[in-house]
Each structure stands twice: as structure tokens, then as C-alpha cells.
Amino acid sequence: LPRQRAAVPLVALDIGGTLIKLVYTASCGDGEEGGGAELRFAKFERRRLDECFQFVRAEGLLRCNGGRPSEGNISLKATGGGAYKFADDFREKLGVCLDKLDEMDSVVSGANFLLQNIPGAAFTHMNGKRKPVNVSPNNLFPYLLVNIGSGVSVLKVTGNRKFERVTGTHIGGGTMFGLAKLLTGCKSYDEFLQLSQKGDNFVLDLIVKDICGELVCQKQGLSTSTLAASFGKVITSKKKLTDYKPEDLAATLLSAFTYNIAQIAFLVASLLGLQRVFFGGSYIRGHKSTMENISYAIDFWSQSQMQAVFLRHEGYLGALGALMSYGD
Ligand code: ADP
């Protein structure tokens, strides 16, 4: 980051449906004179707004813009629906005013910032291998950005600040995690991901072979493990919910939602003639098998014509974009 930005911390927030994402700068190097600034990241559950307030106070982040909280003259850049909903809480409890920014604009700015300024920020994850993707301003645009948060937004990005929100789906990370809490009793998203890691989705998923038999599959050239219906085996089984292992339920949920979102991404990219699809949002959470499944699906349906690309700090795109707007 530019040196002049090092002296006072810059703070930006993205308050989404599930999580509050905070990005801020901190001095690094040899002090305020000659050092630069590094970016730091923190996240909080939206229902624990007080933890976010405590963190901001403890880190001394209210020194930003040289204001004093008591005078109410500090404003923080903030995006996400919660920036509107919780504006009064921020004013009353932290003494700061939220300067609200458009959510999609911020997500796109954050993605473009990462892609154009942070070497190694973009990578593919296929067949167990993580490979950096070199993007240059000449070959970056246009691309599809699929942001998987509580819901999913699909954007066509054609340049810096140039984009269109093409579509989205309400069946996203919030839906999956909500169902996961009900079905598996998991308490946190990380616990859910860990459970899924140990589970087997084929205990609950109906595959083509279950319907047609192996022989027909072979004759028709169908892969025997192709999913026919996620959770489809449950219908003909006598098992109750408690008879299923939470691990298997978690694996089935994660595969159902991940393939479905990847398929929507593929279909939209096909309609728009785009070859590169970047995935963001906290749903991905740097989780290897989520990225593997998305990559496999995009590669399979596009017959290797499209590429799924992931981003470091994928959950912080909106907050990063909001931070970048201090330079506007
Ligand atoms: P939003 O801006 O809507 O809050 P995010 O991009 O932050 O969206 O993604 C939220 C989704 O990410 C959740 O619905 C869930 O699927 C997943 N997730 C990742 N980490 C967590 C967490 N610590 N708590 C809850 N959900 C999480």
C-alpha cells in the first residue's frame, strides 16, 4: 500500500447477512516515516456485533481520519445491507458514522484490486493442485464473478468499476448452513466443513447407477457415479434423520449446494460467452474440496473450455472494495 497511507489506519466494513468482515491497514516496516502499510483482516458473526465493536476499540482503529469518537466526526466506509441496518448502533456505541457504499460496486472493486495488485492472489485448484493464475490488465476482462455469501450474486465484470449484476440465487451459503445446523446440529461453519470432510455423500445421494443398474450405464456410456438426485436415497430408505451420521449429512449438503452453484455459474458464463469464472464469498472459506468440486464441475460441463479461479481473501472482496474507496 502507498506509504502515505501508513500513518493512520484505514478501516472498512462489509456487514452481510451472516458475517461482518473488517479490513484495516496497519503500519509496517520502520515506523510511520518510512514504512508502508499492510492489510489486516478480521471477521465476526453478524449476531455478535458487540465483538466487532470491542475489536475496533482494542485495536485502536478509531484513530482513523484523525477524529475523536466523542466528537462524532469519524466516518468509516461500509458496505453490505447491515451498513444501513446497524448504522445507529455504530453511532451510539462506537461514535462513528458509516459512509455507505454500494455492495456490488465494492465487491467488484475488491476483486479487481486483488487481481491487479496482489501477485498470486488468483489461483486454480484442480486434481489436488493449487496453481497461480497470472492475470494482467490486458487479459483480465471480461470475467464472471460469482460471489457466494448468504445468497449468491453473479456479475459480469468488464473493467474497473464496469460491471453488471447478471443474476443471482437465494439458494446459497446461508441456505446450506441453515440446513446444516438443523440436520447435523453443527455449531459453527468450520465444524460443518470438518464433518463434511469425514462423510460420504453416497450414503444419501442417489446416483445414476442406483436407478439404471451398472449394465445400462455402461451401455449408454454414463458414468456410474453421476449424481441423479442429491438426498435421493433417503426417500426409499427406512432410516430416520438420527440414523444418518452428521458427517454423511454434511458431505451431502456441501456437494449438493456446491455443484448447484457451479452449474449456475457455468450456465451464465456460457450464455455470456465468458471463459474465466472467479469465485468469491465466505462460502468457499479456502476449503480444498469445495474448490475441487467447483473446478471439476466447471471443467466437466464446459468440456475444459472454462476455468474456475479462486481468490485469496475471497470472503473480504466487499470490505476490500470499501477500503479502496478511501482513495476516491
Ligand atoms: P454475507 O455477506 O451474506 O454475510 P459471506 O460472503 O460472508 O456473506 O458468506 C457467508 C456464508 O459463508 C455463510 O452463509 C456460510 O455458508 C459461509 N461461512 C463461512 N464462514 C462462516 C462462519 N464463520 N459463520 C457462518 N457462516 C460462514
pLDDT tens readout for residues 235-255: 999 999 999 999 999 999 999
What CATH class does 3-103+317-327 carry? Answer: alpha beta
3-state secondary structure of 249: helix
Calculate mean pLDDT across residues 185-204.
Answer: 98
Is the confidence at residue 66, as pLDDT, over 60? no
Distance (Å) from CA 101 to ligand 1 centroid:
20
Contact 258, 216 (CB under 8 A): no
Q: Whose CA is nearest to atom 25 of ligand 1?
A: 189
User: Ligand 1 centroid vs 176 CA: distance in angstroms?
Assistant: 10
Q: CB neighbours of 3 closer than 8 A, spacing ≥ 6?
A: 34, 35, 36, 37
Mean pLDDT of the region 65-73: 54
Eight-class DSSP state of 281: S
Residue 175 Cα: closest atom of ligand 1: 14
pLDDT at residue 64, rounded to an integer? 55
Ligand 1 pocket test, candidate residues 51, 181, 283, 311, most atoms within 8 A of CB:
283
User: Distance from CA of residue 317 to its chain's centroid?
Assistant: 8
Ligand 1 centroid distance, CA of 214 (Å): 39
Nearest partner of 83 among 318, 262, 244, judged by Cα: 318
Q: Beta-strand (E) ranges in 72-223?
A: 74-79, 96-100, 122-126, 129-132, 143-148, 152-159, 162-169, 206-207
Is residue 176 scored above 50 in pLDDT? yes
Which residues approach ligand 1 with their CB closer than 6 A? 16-19, 45, 80, 149-150, 173-174, 176-177, 189, 281-283, 285, 315
Confidence of residue 36 (pLDDT cuts 50, 70, 90): confident
State which of 15, 19, 290 you would mutate to test the pocket of ligand 1, scoring each by most atoms of that ligand within 8 A of its C-beta.
19
pLDDT value of residue 235: 97
**Region of residue 242 (left: phi > 0; alpha: psi -120 to 50; beta: else):** alpha
Q: What is the dihedral of CA 170, 178, 255, 226, to 10 degrees?
A: -70
Amino acid letter for position 82: G
What pLDDT sits at residue 69?
Answer: 52
Q: With contact defined as beta carbons under 8 Å apart, do 16 and 149 qualify? A: yes
- Tell me the CA–centroid distance for residue 190 and ligand 1, in Å: 10
Mutate to test the pocket of ligand 1, among 23, 189, 261 (most ligand atoms within 8 A of CB): 189
pLDDT at 159 over 60: yes
Q: Which residues pair with 125 in a beta bridge?
A: 130
Percentage of residues of the chain with pLDDT beyond 70 = 93
Residue nearest to atom 21 of ligand 1 (CA): 189
> Highest-confidence range of 36-45, 70-79, 207-216, by mean pLDDT?
36-45
Written as nine digits, the cell of 291 is 474448490
pLDDT at 212: 87
Residue 4 pLDDT greater than 60, yes or no? no
Give me the count of residues in the chain. 328
Instruction: Give 262-288 pLDDT, tens digit per residue.
Output: 999 999 999 999 999 999 999 999 999
Residue type, 274: L
Is residue 26 a contact partner of residue 37, using CB atoms and an 8 Å limit? yes
Query: CA–CA separation, 250 vs 29, rounded Å?
Result: 44
Please tell me the distance from the alpha carbon of residue 297 to that of residue 299, in angstroms, as a whole number.
5
Task: Average the pLDDT over each of 41-50, 61-70, 81-90, 144-153 and give the range with the smallest value.
Answer: 61-70
User: Which amino acid, 26?
Assistant: A
What are residue 184's DSSP bridge partners? none
Question: Which of 31-35, 70-74, 266-270 holds the top average pLDDT?
Answer: 266-270
Compute the distance from residue 305 Cα to the ligand 1 centre, in Å. Answer: 30
- CB count within 10 Å of CB 78 equals 28
If you take atom 16 of ligand 1, which residue's CA is the nearest one? 173
Residue with cell 449438493: 256
Average pLDDT, the chain: 92
Look at residue 67 and tell me whether its pLDDT is greater than 90: no
17 CA → ligand 1 middle, Å: 8
Tens of pLDDT, residues 286-306: 999 999 999 999 999 999 999
- Mutate which of 45, 48, 102, 150 for ligand 1? The one with the most ligand atoms within 8 Å of its CB, which is 150
Spell out the CATH class of 173-204+244-311. alpha beta
Please say if the pLDDT value at position 70 is more than 70.
Answer: no
Domain ranges of the chain: 3-103+317-327, 173-204+244-311
Confidence tier at 151 by pLDDT (50, 70, 90): very high
CA-to-CA separations, 299 to 47, 122, 145, 225, 279, in angstroms, rounded: 38, 17, 16, 17, 14
- The pLDDT of residue 214 is above 90: no
Check: complex ipTM more than 0.95: yes
Query: Residue 138 above 50 pLDDT?
Result: yes
Phi-psi sector, 8: left (phi>0), alpha (psi -120 to 50), beta:
beta
**Residue 155 is placed in which grid cell?**
456479475
